[in-house]
Structure 1
Amino acid sequence: MGSMGVIPDASTWPDQDLVFWSVGLEPELLVEGYAAGAFPMPTGELAETGDPLIGWYSPVARGILPLDALRVTRSLRKSARHYRLSIDHCFDQVVERCADPNRSGGWIDDEIKRVYGELHRLGLAHSVETWDAAGRLVGGLYGVGLGGLFAGESMFHDPEHGRDASKVALIALVELLGRDGHRRLLDVQWQTPHLSGLGVVEVSRADYLNRLGRALRMPSPQWQLPQV
C-alpha cells in the first residue's frame, strides 16, 4: 500500500489495472500519482478509522485519444454550431454534474469533489463547459493538466437539452491541446465502445509511460478559448 506522498515505482506495479492503494487523498498526492502514470478511484473506507481508501489504477491497456484521430461526423459539426463553449468557468458545477448519482457506474464522491476542486484552484485541473442558447450548462468534461498531459476524468451531457454536448466539449479540448503544434497526451483511462467511436485507441502500459514522460516535459497549453 502506498502511503501519503509515496508512490511505488512503476517497475514494482503488478500486471493488473489496480496497482496500489493509499489512505486519503490530497492535491500533492494527486500530482505525484498522475505524473507516475496512475489515477485514483475511491473504494470505501478503512474499518478501523473511517479514512477514505483509494485505489490507484494504471490500466494494462490504456485508453488515449491521439489529437489527430478524433472522429467528428458532419452531424456533430452541425450540432456544435448550436452551443457556446467556455473554459474553467464553473469547474465545481461540472464535477457535480458528472457525479450525478442517477448515472450508472458513478464513482465521484464528496472526497473526490473536494480534492479535485482544490487542484483546480491550484491551476492543475480544468473543465470545458458547453452551454445551449438558453444559457443552460448542458455538457462538459474535466480532468488534470500537467505539462503536456491532460488526464480526462469524466464528462456529462444533459439528455434533454444537450445532444452531443459532451462531444462538443471534447472537440474544443482536442483543439486547445493541439493548437500550438505540440503532440500532447490526452489520457482517457480506459477504451470503451463509445470512446472507440470517437477515435480512442489502446496502448500498453509501457507505451503509455513513455508517452507520459515526453508529455510532462512539454509546455502546458493556454487554458483559454481562441479570440474570435
Structure 2
Amino acid sequence: MTPKGPYLLDEASDSPFPPAELALHEPDGLLAVGGDLSPIRLLTAYAGGIFPWFSDGQPLLWWSPDPRMVFRTDGVHLSSRFRRALRGSDWRVRADTAFPEVMQACAQAPRPGQDGTWITDDMLAAYLQLHRLGYAHSVEVYDGDALVGGIYGVTIGRMFFGESMFSGRTGGSKIALAALARTLSGWGWPLIDAQVENPHLVRMGAERLERAPFLAQVRRLVREPADVGPWTRGFGEFPASTLAESAGV
C-alpha cells in the first residue's frame, strides 16, 4: 500500500530505502526525506531507481517518478538541420577531463520555470566524491580550449543515470548527449535515465517508461559487470562532426 507521506530515512548512511514502488503519486515520485549524500547512500539510491532532488533550505528529498523518462542509447535524435550544421563543426568531444567544471556550468545554467538550482554546494561535493571513486562521469564538448557543452551522471554496472547537462554555446548539450549515447551504445549499455520529462528531452528522443519496467531494467543492468574508474582513455577524443553521420543518433 502506498504510504500517506514520504518515508523518513535513518541517519545511518547504510540504512535502506523503501522500495521505489512506494513513491507517492502526489507529488509524483516523492519517496523519502532525510539521510545524507554519502557515496554508499547515493549508489544505493541509484541502484534502486531513486535520485536526490532538492533546493537550498529543503531537507534531502528522494524521488522515483512514474513514468520515468529514458533515452535508448541507439535512439537519441538530432534534427537534419542540426546535422548539417554539425558537419562543418571543429568542436571536439572527450570525457572526464573537466567534471567539476561541467557540474558548475550545469548549476549556473538558467532553467525555464525554475528559481535557482538543485545543484547545491553539498551536491557538488557529493558528486565530486563519486567522480573520484569512479562512479560519476562527464562528457565535455570543446571549441579549442573553451568548454561549450557537457553532461554528467552516475554509473553503476551498465546503467547511466543522467543528472544534468548544459550548453555554453548553441547545441553544446545536444552534442554531449549524442556523444554519450553513441559511446554507451557501442559498449552495450542500452539506457540513459533522464529522470523527468521536459520538451527538449522529448524532441531529442526521450521516451516515457512506466516505473515497473524501468525498475526491472535498472535492477538487471546495475548487476552487469563494467569497469569502474575514469572514462578518459576508453571514451577517447573525437570530432563532434562525426556525430552527424552516426546511425545511432
Task: Give TM-score, length-normalised by structure 1.
Answer: 0.87
Task: Summarize the Cα distance change of 1:170–1:101 in structure 2 as closer, same or farther, 3 Å threshold.
Answer: closer
Cα drift, residue 174 of structure 1:
0.4
Cα drift, residue 89 of structure 1:
0.2
Q: Return the match for 1:73 from 71, 76, 79.
A: 79
Partner of 1:55: 61
Whichever residue aligns with residue 26 of structure 1, its letter is S
Task: Summarize the Cα distance change of 1:188–1:137 in structure 2 as closer, same or farther, 3 Å threshold.
Answer: same
CA distance in 2, matches of 1:213, 1:36: 7
Q: Please, which runs of 5 or more residues in structure 1 have no aligned partner?
A: 46-51
Whichever residue aligns with residue 219 of structure 1, its letter is P
Partner of 1:107: 118
Task: Summarize the Cα distance change of 1:227–1:198 in structure 2 as closer, same or farther, 3 Å threshold.
Answer: closer
Which string of whole-angstrom CA distances, capped at 9 and with x for unpartnered residues, describes residues 148-173 of structure 1? 11010000011xxx211110011110
Cα drift, residue 26 of structure 1:
1.1
Partner of 2:180: 173
CA distance in 2, matches of 1:103, 1:119: 25
Cα drift, residue 74 of structure 1:
2.9
Kept in 2, the 8 Å contact 1:128–1:169? The answer is: yes
Q: Return the match for 2:92 from 84, 89, 95.
A: 84
Structure with the larger RCO, 1 or 2 (CA within 8 Å, 6+ apart): 2
Partner of 2:209: 203
Kept in 1, the 8 Å contact 2:23–2:65? The answer is: no
Whichever residue aligns with residue 117 of structure 1, its letter is L
CA distance in 2, matches of 1:43, 1:193: 22
Q: Return the match for 1:163 from 158, 170, 181.
A: 170
CA distance in 2, matches of 1:163, 1:12: 40
CA distance in 2, matches of 1:64, 1:20: 22
More displaced 10-residue stretch of structure 1: 207-216 or 16-25: 16-25
SS of 2:165's equivalent in the other structure is strand
CA distance in 1, matches of 2:118, 2:91: 28
More displaced 10-residue stretch of structure 1: 149-158 or 16-25: 16-25
SS of 2:53's equivalent in the other structure is strand
Partner of 2:129: 118
Task: Summarize the Cα distance change of 1:195–1:43 in structure 2 as closer, same or farther, 3 Å threshold.
Answer: same
- Cα RMSD after superposing both structures: 2.0
Partner of 1:39: 51
Task: Summarize the Cα distance change of 1:215–1:20 in structure 2 as closer, same or farther, 3 Å threshold.
Answer: same
Q: Return the match for 2:220 from 209, 214, 220.
A: 214
Partner of 1:48: none
Which string of whole-angstrom CA distances, capped at 9 and with x for unpartnered residues, describes residues 158-193 of structure 1? 1xxx2111100111100111113x243210001211
Total equivalences in the alignment? 217
Does residue 1:131 correspond to 2:142, yes or no? yes
Kept in 2, the 8 Å contact 1:42–1:53? The answer is: yes
More displaced 10-residue stretch of structure 1: 29-38 or 75-84: 75-84
Q: Please, which runs of 5 or more residues in structure 2 have no aligned partner?
A: 1-7, 239-249
